[in-house]
Chain A
Amino acid sequence: MSHSEHHTERNSLAYSIEKNVEVYTQKCYQCGKCSAGCPVAEEMDFPPSMVMRLLQTEDPANDDKILRSHSIWLCVTCEMCLSRCPMEIDIPSMMDYLRQRSRSEKKVNKKAKNIIAFHKAFLNSIKYTGRLFELGLILDYKRQSLNLMQDVALAPKMISRGKLHLFPFMIKGRDQMTRIFKNTSK
C-alpha cells in the first residue's frame, strides 16, 4: 500500500509526524539500509528501521516506546540514513520532531540525561551572550550532569594552545537574542 492510499490513525504518532514534518512512515518497506549505515545503531535500543516499523503499527504502546527510547537522543543527525533511503524518507527531521515530543511529554529516557544536559548548557551559553562560550559550556554541563571530573586534563591543554577563552564575547544584539529565545519557546 502506498502512503497516499493509507490513512494514518488521527491519534497516532505517525499521523503527528506527517502533519508536523511531512514525513510519511508508511513509505518504509524495511530494506534496512538506514540501520546498516547508521553510525550509532549499535548503541541504540531500536535502530532507525525498527523505529520506522514501530511507528507503522500505529499502536499507542509502540508510540510510547519510541518517545521513551534512548535511540532518538543517540541520533547524531549525520544524515546518512536519508542519503541512502531508497524512498527518501527524512528520518533526521523526524528524529528532531520525536525529541521535542519526548521532552514535551516528559518521556525522556534516563540514559539520555547527559546528552540533553549538554544541549541545554549549549543553548544557555548562547542565550545571553550571542555566541558560544566554550569554557562556560563545559562548566555548566558539569553542573547539570554532575560529571565534575570529566575533561579536567583537557582544559589546561586547551588554554596553553590558545584554544579556550577565559571570558565570553558579548555581541551587541543581546537583547534581540533574548527575545529570539523567548519568542521561540513554546
Chain B
Amino acid sequence: MKTGIYPGCSLTGSARDYNESVFAIAEAFGLEFTQIPDWNCCGATAAHNLNKDLSLALPARILALAEKNGLDEIIVPCAACYSRLVVTQHELKKDPELKNRICEVIEMDYRGTSVILNVIEWIDKYIVPKLEEKIVKPFNYKVACYYGCLLVRPNKILNYDRVEDPQTLDVVMSKLGATPIDYPYKTECCGAGLSISRTDIVSKLSGKIIEDAEHRGADAIVVACPMCHSNLDMRRPDINKYWDTEFKIPVIFVTQAIGLAVGLSPQKVGLKRHFVEVKIS
C-alpha cells in the first residue's frame, strides 16, 4: 500500500506549525508518505455555500490525482479538508450520473477507491503501535480534547468516532501520559469559516470553548484541526477583548503533543509559531 498526504492550503500557511509537527513525528516514527502531486484547494466552506458542483469537483480532482499516482491511502490532517473529501467520495458513489458529470468537469478518471484517513486514524494505525517504546517524556498534563465539528460530523457519512462525547483523541492523549478531563465542549463549533467575516461570532463561540477548559483546570486544549486552532489561538486577542478577560490556556495540536513526548524540541514541532505562549515542553 502506498500512502499519500493531502496537506491542504492552511497547512502551507497559517497552520505551518501543524504541518511541521505532522512531518516531524512521521520522521521520528520512520513513516513515509508522498504529497499528492499538484494538489488544489478543496474549496472549503466557500465552495459548498456558493456552488454545489464546484464543491464536488475540487475535491474530486484531488482524489483523482491520488488515484492516478497510485496512492491508495491518503492522510488528511485538516479536519475541514477531510470532511470535504469524504463527503465528495460519498456523494459521487451514491449518484453515478453525478459522478460522470463531475469526471467531465475535472477532465480526469475517478474511481473513488482511495481510503481517506483523518489525523487520528493515521496516528492510531501507524504511531500508536510503536508509541510505548518511543516515549521518553510522558505528557503529564491535564488536557481538554477538542474535536470540533468536522472530525466527527456528518457522522452517518464519516462513520468515525461516536458523535456525542467522542473518545479517539482522549485515548491517544491518555497513551501519551496525559489526563483528559470530562469536557462538554468537545464537539461544539468554534465559529469556523466566519473568522474574518464575523469575528464577533467566532470570539463568542471560541470563548465559551476556552472558558470551560480553563474552568475545569486543563493545562492545554488539544486539537486536530487547523481551523479550530486558528480560531482558538490566533483569534485569542479578539476573544479576550470580547470576553473582557485574559484567557491564557494554550492550544496545541495532537501531533505536537506526540512530538514532545518522543523527545522532539518545541521548535521542531512548531510550538514557537503560536500566538498564545505554550509553557508546556
Say whether A134 contacts B13, CB under 8 Å. yes
Asked whether A180 and B13 contact (CB < 8 A) given A43-B201, A122-B44, A126-B41, the answer is: no
Whether a CB of chain A sits under 8 angstroms from the CB of B125 is no
Whether a CB of chain B sits under 8 angstroms from the CB of A109 is no
A-contacting residues, B189-231, CB 8 Å:
189, 191-194, 196-199, 201, 205
Residue of B nearest to A37 (CB): B188
Whether a CB of chain B sits under 8 angstroms from the CB of A92 is yes
Asked whether A184 and B51 contact (CB < 8 A) given A92-B154, A141-B196, A158-B234, the answer is: yes
Which one of A76, A131, A141, A164 has the greatest number of beta carbons of chain B within 10 Å? A76
For the complex, what is the distance from the CA of A185 to the CA of B51, rounded to whole Å? 8
Say whether B12 contacts A76, CB under 8 Å. no
With contacts defined as CB atoms under 8 Å apart, how many contacts are there between chain A and chain B in the complex?
A: 165
Say whether A120 contacts B50, CB under 8 Å. yes
A159 smallest CB distance to B (angstroms): 11
Asked whether A77 and B16 contact (CB < 8 A) given A43-B201, A132-B9, the answer is: no
Surface stretch bound by A, among B53-61, B129-137, B245-253, B256-264: B53-61
Say whether B61 contacts A83, CB under 8 Å. no
Whether a CB of chain A sits under 8 angstroms from the CB of B97 is no
Say whether B107 contacts A118, CB under 8 Å. no
Residues of A in contact, count (CB < 8 Å): 60
Whether a CB of chain A sits under 8 angstroms from the CB of B279 is no
State which size class the interface on B falls in. Answer: 35 or more
Say whether A99 contacts B189, CB under 8 Å. no
* Residue positions of B touching A, CB distance < 8 A: 9-10, 12-17, 38-41, 43-55, 57-58, 61, 104-107, 149-150, 153-156, 163-164, 187-189, 191-194, 196-199, 201, 205, 234, 237, 272-275
9 further A-B contacts with Cβ under 8 Å, apart from A131-B12, A184-B54, are A78-B189, A118-B197, A126-B58, A130-B41, A153-B237, A157-B275, A162-B16, A165-B13, A172-B38
* Residue positions of A touching B, CB distance < 8 A: 39-40, 43, 74, 76-80, 82-83, 88, 92, 96-97, 99-100, 103, 114-120, 122-123, 126, 130-132, 134, 137-138, 141, 145, 150-151, 153-154, 157-158, 161-165, 169, 171-173, 176-177, 179-181, 183-186
